[in-house]
Chains A and B, each alone.
Chain A
Amino acid sequence: MKHGIAVIFFVLFVFSCKSKNESHIVTINSMADRTFEAVLSEYQYDVAVINYFATYCSPCKKELPLMEKLNSEFKDKRVVFLSFTTETEAMEPSIRGMMKLLGVTYPVYYNAPSVFFNDPISVLPVTYILNGNNEIVERLVGLFQADTLKEIINTNRKNTSAEVSYEKKADNMYYSVQAVRDNNLVLLSFHAKKPYKLGGEEYPPMEITINGKESQKFQLEYSKDGYSLRLQNLSDVKELSGHIKAFACTESNCFIIDENFTVSIQ
């Protein structure tokens, strides 16, 4: 029996030495006497995911890595993830160690009040989803499903701002380009493909770079005939190539176009 215990302690010791030299950054703050409004005002968001946890709560420890995963997924998309605990300063080192073991990098607060916007915390874990006006839109009791939470976040984001996707779709998916020769002028025009619209009122104008002896940059404003550009001194050129930078938007989503194009002059 004594040997057994010794072996267990040895194993504990060996394992506890393992994860030492990882660099890990997590901000752990004390709420002190600040209100939630004050803490939340430090962040800019359309959706805030507020999670209550505790060092002794084992479902919470399953939840925190999920939060972290979603946090990296929604980075720079105006979604903020925060975790709060009612535990005090005395537990701060444990909280820090735990976050390190669980790989959490988003901000964590201890010393939190046990009432969240008039809702007393009586069950752990509990997760609140707030919109940009700090209104609670959803309260999830117990271990949440990552998919459920993701869906809630996405539905609340769509209401407040258009989605900008950075994924690159197949070339020439959003627009068609044409170049027509007219004496010594070349008329270059861009037409949006359905269901997209190019540019848009609140987006920056389309930006075109034409390759040539000297690369030239043009900003295209919308006109009745679509986006078009008159180019001179191209009498001996049969093909135009360049780069297009613009937004292509549907009713609900916007995509960034950032790609090269080539067009033969007719």
Chain B
Amino acid sequence: MKKIRHAVQLIFAILLNSDFFNVIKILISGKARVSATVMKNICVPGLNCYSCPSALGACPIGALQFYLNDVSLKIQLKEKLNFAGLYILGFFGFTGILGGRLFCGWVCPFGALQELINRITKKNVTLPNLLEKGRFVILAVFVFILPLFLYNISLLSPWFCKLICPSGTLLAGIPLLLIDKDLRSSASYITLLKFTILLFIIISLLFSNRFFCKTMCPLGAIWGIFNRISIFNINYDKNICISCGKCSNKCPMNLDVIKEYRSSKCIRCLECNSACPTSSLTFGKYKN
């Protein structure tokens, strides 16, 4: 199962970032630019930055924040709202109700990168519960409240992207800064902040697998809400479980699987399913 999943992650990482033509173009010209195909209309199920030079689609969290900025602006100016927001909401609802955080485990390129970094030490410390609630705080504060309610036209910003998002720093910030020297002159204290956060996350990843997913990811927080009710879900058959605990040992998110198999922390990597000797844990259509 692990091998299949890594293959799927790799395929999606390449698929979602396959505008190699653009990469070649900016390498030749030395001028930063991003892919601009029609695909940018489409949200991708993963924290894959807009501004990554090869990214085909749009990051749903970025799109959501920009949309909320737009809503805020239009409320201030008393104008008609753009219905495109329904598309973004519908995207979260549709993907969420289908598989919950399935996409975290199988699609998200930044998740895959985190697993790759964690391979160096293979350590996986259980984090305090309070810290793991952090992603809901980040979702509420940086994705919803700040972009929507800061009443000042020049303060309308995608605040999560601006201050936190390590995916943006790693996949877009670093390559673009390396390529385009014009950009380097406009680096500021925010650059420093974001690089510090990225460094902190990379160091933390050496101690705990998927540290960012566990504690900070707002996209995971949204999908996590659907984990309990998603149509495709993890099913647990109490009757054939022998309580061997192998599932919990394998869980990258440090869950006590047979108690929390539908927890919002689960990323549906299905390690527990393949570890289970009696197949009491299965993935399929939701069963009670």
Which residues does A use to contact B, with CB under 8 Å?
Answer: 8, 11-12, 15-16, 55-56, 58, 61-62, 90, 93-94, 97-98, 101-102, 114, 120, 122-123, 139, 141-143
Contact = CB atoms under 8 A, between A and B. Distances in A.
B38 interface: no
Contacts, number: 67
A80 B33 CA distance: 28
At the interface, is chain A mostly helix, strand, loop or mixed? Answer: helix
Contact of B76 (A16, A90, A102, A114): A16
B193 to A, nearest CB: 16
A122 B34 CA distance: 7
Chain B residues touching A, range: 20 to 34
Nearest to A142: B186
Contact of B73 (A11, A94, A139, A142): A94
16 contacts: A12-B76, A12-B151, A16-B76, A16-B77, A56-B66, A58-B154, A90-B82, A93-B79, A94-B74, A94-B79, A97-B77, A98-B73, A98-B77, A122-B36, A123-B32, A141-B183
Interface string B167-195: 00000000000001011011000000000
Interface string B47-80: 0000000000000000000100110011111110
B154 A122 contact: no
Nearest to B72: A12
Contacts of A55: 70, 73
Contacts of A61: 153-154, 156
A141 B182 contact: yes
Given A8-B149, A12-B76, A55-B73, 14 more contacts: A11-B151, A15-B76, A16-B77, A58-B154, A58-B155, A94-B79, A97-B73, A98-B153, A101-B77, A122-B34, A123-B183, A141-B180, A141-B183, A141-B186
Contact of A101 (B69, B74, B153, B186): B153
Contacts of B75: 12, 16
A97 B34 contact: no
Nearest to B148: A8
Contacts of B183: 123, 141-142
A55 B67 CA distance: 11
Contacts of A94: 70, 73-74, 77, 79
Contacts of A143: 186
Nearest to A101: B153
Contact of B79 (A8, A58, A97): A97
Nearest to B186: A142
Contacts of A56: 66, 69-70, 156
A142 B32 CA distance: 12
A97 B70 CA distance: 13
A258 B78 CA distance: 51
A52 to B, nearest CB: 13
A40 B73 CA distance: 30
B157 interface: yes
B61 to A, nearest CB: 15
Contacts of A90: 82
B185 to A, nearest CB: 7
Q: Which 9 A-B pairs have the closest CB atoms?
A: A142-B186, A122-B33, A97-B77, A61-B154, A58-B157, A141-B182, A101-B153, A93-B79, A16-B76
Contact of A142 (B66, B70, B149, B185): B185
Contacts of A142: 183, 185-186
A93 B82 CA distance: 12
